[in-house]
Structure 1
Amino acid sequence: MQLASRKPSEQAPPRMAALATLPVFLSLVGKRAIVAGGSAAAAWKAELLAAAGADVHVYAKDVSPEMEALLTRGAASGTLTLHAGLWPVESLAGAAVAIADAESEDEASAFYSAAVQAGVPVNVIDKPAFCQFQFGAIVNRSPVVVGISTTGAAPILGQAIRRRIETLLPPALALWGQLASAIRERVGERLAAGGARRAFWEKFVDHAFGPAPTRSEFRRLDHLIDLLSTRSQPRAGCVTLVGGGPGNAELLTLKAVRALQAADVILYDDLVSDEVLELARREAKRLLVGKRGGRESCRQEDINALMVKLARQGRRVVRLKSGDPMIFGRAGEEMAQLEQAGIPFEIVPGITAASAMAAALGVSLTHRDHAHSVRFVTGHSRAGGLPETLDWRGLADPDTTLVIYMGGRTAGALATRLMAEGANAHTPAVAVAHLSRAGETRWHGTLATLREADILLNTTGPVLIAVGTAFARAAVEVRAHHSATSTA
């Protein structure tokens, strides 16, 4: 069947999905903040506001040991002033924010109403009905500050996310943030907006997640500014071939995420999941260049030409493929075209579907009791049928684990051919559709029953097939998966 060819098409998904709340970073330096109450919770909010540079006025008849200790030692920034007694209404006029720890609903309502009337953003601790904003969990690498909010739905989850981010952001990031602040004005003066300025900050970011900057770092960066300011030629573009993995964004490598965050243009395949694309830089243009069996597809020649064209325009191009670009991803043709055009390129490997399937099923593809080798093959030729050039006798070897990519439409013929070459009809076989994604479906049977597998008939998504004695125990995992999805 001759397929129609389509041109790469720009997709315009929303840059931002719906937000439960808007994250806003508010400067409080030198501004007045009101805290009503002397409890431990009020002390924490007062310390937080003062750390942001606010002049905090605390109104309380009684103070807790935590508040007393805070007032004695002071905060990291800003000021703290205690006023004995209840808060007066006039204290709210002109304040930047107002916080209260109210004992009763009536007290909370009175404070909330007074703040709203004064036009002051208000938060009554642990009383969402009287809050115009919420405090989230904070990761402090000031001037880099990360805020996490669950909109009050799951504070424990917010804390867990904070702990995860804490492990990813080294403490030295604060020093790099300070260094960026120190040189920002010079960068703006010496480098024009656009390519040169962005090239500098990209070089800067390459170092910001490493060791703390040394005393010589400022001089080195200053030299880079001078070098970029005298560059007359436009920045050369490049292409990065990135493996997007089987679909689950958590299976991306850190290097893949960095490439997506640095891209100007992303050329992505049909099989790349939305959650992977969500990690790309918001400003990056996204072009769908998918190739799918049995569907209208982009010609490989058009994709190759587009990569070269964009790179010659000085763009950072990411060619985003599902799985690993070097395994049935036609990366060889694209690399040859880039080499011929003199375009620099880099390859970021991804988790290939066979590895993800083995992990999901808890199966070792090369278990020494079952397989001496593992083979990855494609399930169809350019003409659409079984590839005739494969070593079919070798593929039927009982000591080989066989993984078939893109074999959904030829599974029956494949099983027949393997058995004709001597493969045992009772050899365990598995098939997984939509691997690692929502709606993942698994099937387990034998080589003989593979031809009638429901999974091959009831899905339009990609199917990965595997054959070999290593999959004998996979039946347990498949049944457990079916049980879990049925319960859900």
Structure 2
Amino acid sequence: MLALPLSWPLEGRRVVLIGTGDWLARKLTLLRRTPARLSVFTPDDEAEYEGITPERRWPTVEELSDASFVIVAFEDRVLAERGTELVRAAHRPLNVVDNPDLGDFHIPAIIDRGPLSIGVATGGTAPVLARETRRRIEAAIPPSETQLADFALRLSPHLRALLPNVDERRRFWEGVLDSEAASLARQGRIDEALEIALAHAREPGPRRGVVHLVGAGPGDPELLTLKALRLLSEADVIVYDRLVGDSIMDLARRDAERFYVGKARSNHSVPQDQIHALLVEQARLGKRVVRLKGGDPFVFGRGGEEVEALKAAGIEVHITPGITAALGCAASTAVPLTHRDHAQSVSFITGHAKDGDFEHNPLALDWQRLAAQNHTLVVYMGIHTAQTISDKLTEHGRAPDTPVLVVENGTRPDESRTLTCLSELPQTLRSLPPKGPALLIIGEVAALYQTTHTHRAVADLMRIA
């Protein structure tokens, strides 16, 4: 972080602007949306500024002495330096438009939603990038958030009187922003929203805990759903597994309590029944719990077992799906799981049995169906049982030269891919054992990886040439 984003209160404060032309006009447009008292000086400039009558001269040092801060906005670097010297003599905080080396602070690209404002800054190094990032964020924040921010502004002083404890207020805000009151506020019915919210604040009742089973996706944090991101920012407690990387945990609420319950083959750091007990215990304490699982909770994530345990304990539980590893790896490698010419169906299986003895009791899978031609088979957790998988498929009619793509750490920066065939799969994995989570894509579509990979390589060479 090159600079620290700050919020500068302007109610009743004086801001001085010194500049000319469009550079000055743009800053005036921004600051006129604030409650600041504006003083404008524009030496040797005949331009008119809507709603503002500027002093057509340089200010004196004394005229800057009570300014909260000063903005110098000249296209001419020499004039900008002269303005800088003047402000330095007055010892006031300074922003110099498009000359960050001369000033004390930068003004970020701003998303304005009434009392809610969001600044996007790059430390003054890339303002165009900041504006483009602002545009993307702005598209994701509906205009109705302005009404919600007005509601929050009007509610806040009442809450300070009703709920003097900071933690109580925080918990109340977390609940009210996802409630009927917030829905009414977004519709502009703020008086009704305030009535409901204040009634709840006066008689809050016991706080009920809740558990959210949330899919973290295959690894790339940009593949998180918007809902997953919101729940991570609201969680009191996060219970996460081995497949959830640091880049995703960095997006979670900073002060949330975190429990690592990762599992690896033959190494369950926390047994499943203890995970159930932990989720129930934390929810009964009235906490908002996020059970964060790699991929999707309901695709080989034992989410079904956890839902059953939570419902049996009377705990409210909600599911937020994630992009499962099969879909993430298919997209990352440009290998379609279905294709009109190569595969008209797809199956997902796990290579790990509940009792850990997949080799001798491989879940009574329908190997005849799984071995069908023009059918894609995706195997989760199949690295250590690849010999059994290869034997069973070839035994039931799958060709030994059927392509297999092994994708390790799919969608992550350290993703690796190995293309082999069904008969050579066990030896390939023994010679190049994956160190991270890996997925097997078995079927005719896997050969498309070689085609797309070759096309990409040729395209890269052409760009270099």
Same fold at TM > 0.5: yes
Question: How far, CA to CA, are the matches of 2:402 and 2:183 in structure 1?
Answer: 50
Deviation at 1:194, TM superposition (A): 6.2
Match of 1:161? 133
Match of 2:191? 218
**Residue 61 (str. 1) matches residue 33 (str. 2):** no
Q: Any conservation in 1 of the 2:144–2:187 contact (CA below 8 Å)?
A: no
Deviation at 1:102, TM superposition (A): 4.5
1:179-194 alignment, distance < 5 Å: 179-191=151-163, 193=165
Match of 2:389? 414
Question: How far, CA to CA, are the matches of 1:337 and 1:187 in structure 2?
Answer: 37
Post-superposition CA distance 1:439-460 (Å, at most 9, x none): 1111223212323336972531
Question: How far, CA to CA, are the matches of 1:177 and 1:121 in structure 2?
Answer: 29
SS at match of 1:88: coil
**Residue 388 (str. 1) matches residue 362 (str. 2):** yes
Deviation at 1:238, TM superposition (A): 1.3
Question: How far, CA to CA, are the matches of 2:68 and 2:377 in structure 1?
Answer: 66
Question: How far, CA to CA, are the matches of 2:7 and 2:167 in structure 1?
Answer: 28
Question: Do the aligned partners of residues 335 and 352 (structure 1) sit closer, same or farther apart at CA in structure 2, a change above 3 Å counting?
Answer: same
Supply the AA of the counterpart residue of 2:26. Answer: W
Match of 2:263? 291
Unaligned segments of structure 1, at least 5 residues: 1-18, 75-79
Match of 1:45? 27
Q: Any conservation in 1 of the 2:147–2:190 contact (CA below 8 Å)?
A: no
Question: Do the aligned partners of residues 238 and 162 (structure 1) sit closer, same or farther apart at CA in structure 2, a change above 3 Å counting?
Answer: same
**Residue 318 (str. 1) matches residue 293 (str. 2):** no
RMSD: 2.8
Match of 1:14? none
Supply the AA of the counterpart residue of 1:348. Answer: T
Post-superposition CA distance 1:115-141 (Å, at most 9, x none): 334331112222222011112111111
1:99-118 alignment, distance < 5 Å: 99-102=71-74, 107-118=79-90
SS at match of 2:3: coil
Question: Do the aligned partners of residues 297 and 64 (structure 1) sit closer, same or farther apart at CA in structure 2, a change above 3 Å counting?
Answer: farther
Supply the AA of the counterpart residue of 2:69. Answer: V
* More divergent stretch after superposition (452-461 vs 155-164): 452-461
SS at match of 2:54: strand
Unaligned segments of structure 2, at least 5 residues: none
Post-superposition CA distance 1:329-380 (Å, at most 9, x none): 1122212221221111111111111111222233432334333432111112
Supply the AA of the counterpart residue of 1:165. Answer: I
Supply the AA of the counterpart residue of 1:400. Answer: H
Match of 2:233? 261
Question: How far, CA to CA, are the matches of 1:241 and 1:335 in structure 2?
Answer: 8
Match of 1:13? none
Q: Any conservation in 1 of the 2:219–2:294 contact (CA below 8 Å)?
A: yes
Supply the AA of the counterpart residue of 1:24. Answer: L
Match of 1:399? 374
1:367-386 alignment, distance < 5 Å: 367-381=339-353, 382-383=355-356, 385-386=358-359
Question: How far, CA to CA, are the matches of 2:430 and 2:25 in structure 1?
Answer: 59
Match of 1:26? 8
Q: Any conservation in 2 of the 1:409–1:456 contact (CA below 8 Å)?
A: no
Question: Do the aligned partners of residues 210 and 235 (structure 1) sit closer, same or farther apart at CA in structure 2, a change above 3 Å counting?
Answer: closer
Supply the AA of the counterpart residue of 2:95. Answer: N
Deviation at 1:248, TM superposition (A): 1.3
Deviation at 1:31, TM superposition (A): 1.9
Supply the AA of the counterpart residue of 1:418. Answer: L
User: TM-score, structure 1 length as denominator?
Assistant: 0.86
Deviation at 1:437, TM superposition (A): 0.8
SS at match of 2:259: strand
Q: Any conservation in 1 of the 2:185–2:193 contact (CA below 8 Å)?
A: no
Identity of aligned residues (%): 38
* More divergent stretch after superposition (326-335 vs 413-422): 413-422
Supply the AA of the counterpart residue of 1:282. Answer: R
Q: Any conservation in 2 of the 1:443–1:478 contact (CA below 8 Å)?
A: no
Question: Do the aligned partners of residues 329 and 485 (structure 1) sit closer, same or farther apart at CA in structure 2, a change above 3 Å counting?
Answer: farther
User: TM-score, structure 2 length as denominator?
Assistant: 0.90
* More divergent stretch after superposition (37-46 vs 95-104): 95-104
Deviation at 1:48, TM superposition (A): 2.3
Question: How far, CA to CA, are the matches of 1:214 and 1:164 in structure 2?
Answer: 24
Q: Any conservation in 2 of the 1:408–1:456 contact (CA below 8 Å)?
A: no
Q: Any conservation in 1 of the 2:184–2:192 contact (CA below 8 Å)?
A: no
* More divergent stretch after superposition (103-112 vs 415-424): 103-112
Supply the AA of the counterpart residue of 1:85. Answer: R
1:164-175 alignment, distance < 5 Å: 164-175=136-147
Supply the AA of the counterpart residue of 2:15. Answer: A
Question: How far, CA to CA, are the matches of 2:287 and 2:425 in structure 1?
Answer: 46
Deviation at 1:282, TM superposition (A): 2.2
Deviation at 1:318, TM superposition (A): 0.6
